[in-house]
Amino acid sequence: MSSTTTHVCLTASVENEATTMHTPTLRPVSKLPDVGTNIFTVIGQLTYQHQAINLSQGAPNFPCDPKLVELTAEAMRAGHNQYAPMAGVLSLREALAHKVETLYGHTYHSGDEVTITASASEGLYASISALVHAGDEVIYFEPSFDSYAPIVRLQGAKPVPLKLTQPDFRIDWDELRDTINPKTRMIIINTPHNPSSQILDAADLDRLAELTRDTDIIVLSDEVYEHIVFDGNKHHGVASHPELAQRSIMVSSFGKSFHVTGWRIGYCLAPAALTEEIRKVHQFMMFSADTPMQHALATYMQDPSTYLGLSDLYQQKRDLLVSLLQDSPFELLPCAGSFFLLAKFGHFSSLSDSDFVQRMIRDYRVSAIPLSAFYTDGTDNRIVRFSFSKDEATLRAAAEALCSMKG
């Protein structure tokens, strides 16, 4: 029988002939043979090794509001330490439904349309695995967050990456129209976008609604940076588009909004029929998300300034980094949302973006992520991604080193 049909391959390890013991080594047939340690881990290790300033990771290096920590401790002291309800703590689901209705206009019923997940990552996984079947196609846009394609592949489905246009990282709607076919089960969008930091506008959503009208395509909308939109622009997500909201799942994350990426709490908002399927996966994957944090977040969110102030906070950081890098050799690309800034270097270095980042870490002690890491085909436009979710001292120190860079 072949290893493919048995799904494991047992090989005998006989390195030492003197020992007659044959130790069988279990070699599973990988479902993701080409996936190795991800780029964030590799760059993280290099950053640590060279004691570089970390502008690679999308995690804040400043603390969350102490009040949030205190509310969590209070919830723990009050005994909220056992399993939360599978769908999430009701007060948090109600707070979310209220927030989304107020900000975006769509009413999600807290009972059967709001689910608290153990991070946005889990929300993405639960949504895709609940709704995408083997043989289906899922369209998404590159450069992209790294989890979409592997999750699709794990369902036996086909990820179909379309490239965002250069230089402005927009969706090519005509290409999308030409790519949609009867096998298309899902389209994944992400706004504000990681890594390009571009945002969709109302006309984009209209176009998406038009292209999916009269189909059974589900839209999975990754909106983890929903509260980080700059220059007075509004966030346009699926909950602000009545037609799209009927066929969409909005996934978001408390980690990004409240500077607690380690807490692993996110949420999925979707019409009841979609939510029912998503919860079937969620209940067997995590059953529920952490209890005390959910209670704390529900109370904390009662004050809308906790999330409405985020755009200002990050816009100041963006503006600071952009102004500090004016004297650097980089060409900075426009940044409309999220906490990432793209920078071109091809005019002063002929290195590949990966080699360039390694050199930056080694010689200038600043880390970033090469943009090619966000493409399945490794497209290299000689661009790096900096994260500005950092305190002022870190941004200043990093910019000083980057300004001294030579080709």
Ligand X SMILES: Cc1ncc(COP(=O)(O)O)c(C=O)c1O
Within the chain, what is the greatest distance between any pair of CA atoms? 74
In the set 127, 190, 240, 372, which binds ligand X (CB under 6 A)?
190
Angle at 29 between CA 25 and CA 31, to 5 degrees: 140
The answer to whether 224 contacts ligand X (rule: CB under 6 A) is yes
User: How far is residue 126's CA from residue 119's CA, in Å, rounded to a whole number?
Assistant: 11
In the set 221, 261, 275, 372, which binds ligand X (CB under 6 A)?
261
In the set 53, 54, 56, 58, which binds ligand X (CB under 6 A)?
58
Nearer to ligand X, 225 or 364 (CB): 225
Give the 3-state secondary structure percentages of the chain, helix then strand then coil, rounded to 5.
Answer: 40, 15, 40
Nearer to ligand X, 113 or 222 (CB): 222
Q: Is 242 exposed, middle or buried (0-12, 13-18, 19+ CB in 10 A)?
A: exposed
Q: How far is the CB of 18 from ligand X (least distance, A)?
A: 50
Per DSSP, the chain holds a count of helices (H) and strands (E) of 16, 15
Task: Give the range of 27-35, 117-125, 228-236, 295-303 binding ligand X by CB under 6 A.
Answer: 117-125
In the set 55, 95, 97, 120, which binds ligand X (CB under 6 A)?
120
The answer to whether 249 contacts ligand X (rule: CB under 6 A) is no
Instruction: Write the interaction track for ligand X spanning residues 84-103; mark x where CB under 6 A is met and - where it is not.
Output: --------------------
The answer to whether 192 contacts ligand X (rule: CB under 6 A) is no
Nearer to ligand X, 195 or 405 (CB): 195
User: How far is residue 233's CA from residue 204's CA, in Å, rounded to a whole number?
Assistant: 14
Nearer to ligand X, 194 or 248 (CB): 194
* CA dist list (Å): 135 to 71, 154, 184, 277, 346: 46, 11, 10, 19, 40
Q: 174: Cβ–Cβ under 8 A, 6 or more apart, which residues? A: none
Nearer to ligand X, 364 or 386 (CB): 386
Q: DSSP letters of 198-258?
A: ----HHHHHHHHHHHTTS-PEEEEE-TTTT-B-TTPPP--GGG-HHHHTTEEEEEEHHHHT
The answer to whether 222 contacts ligand X (rule: CB under 6 A) is yes
CB 249 within 8 A of CB 273: no
The answer to whether 341 contacts ligand X (rule: CB under 6 A) is no
User: How far is residue 406's CA from residue 121's CA, in Å, rounded to a whole number?
Assistant: 38
Nearer to ligand X, 190 or 275 (CB): 190
User: How far is residue 349's CA from residue 341's CA, in Å, rounded to a whole number?
Assistant: 19
In the set 54, 253, 294, 372, which binds ligand X (CB under 6 A)?
253
Nearer to ligand X, 145 or 345 (CB): 145
In the set 145, 345, 364, 386, which binds ligand X (CB under 6 A)?
145
Q: Are strands 218-222 and 184-190 parallel, antiparallel or unpaired?
A: parallel
The answer to whether 389 contacts ligand X (rule: CB under 6 A) is no
- Contact set for ligand X, span 6-25 (CB under 6 A): none
The answer to whether 266 contacts ligand X (rule: CB under 6 A) is yes
Residues at the site binding ligand X, with contacts judged by CB under 6 A: 58, 119-121, 145, 190, 194, 222, 224, 253, 255, 261, 266
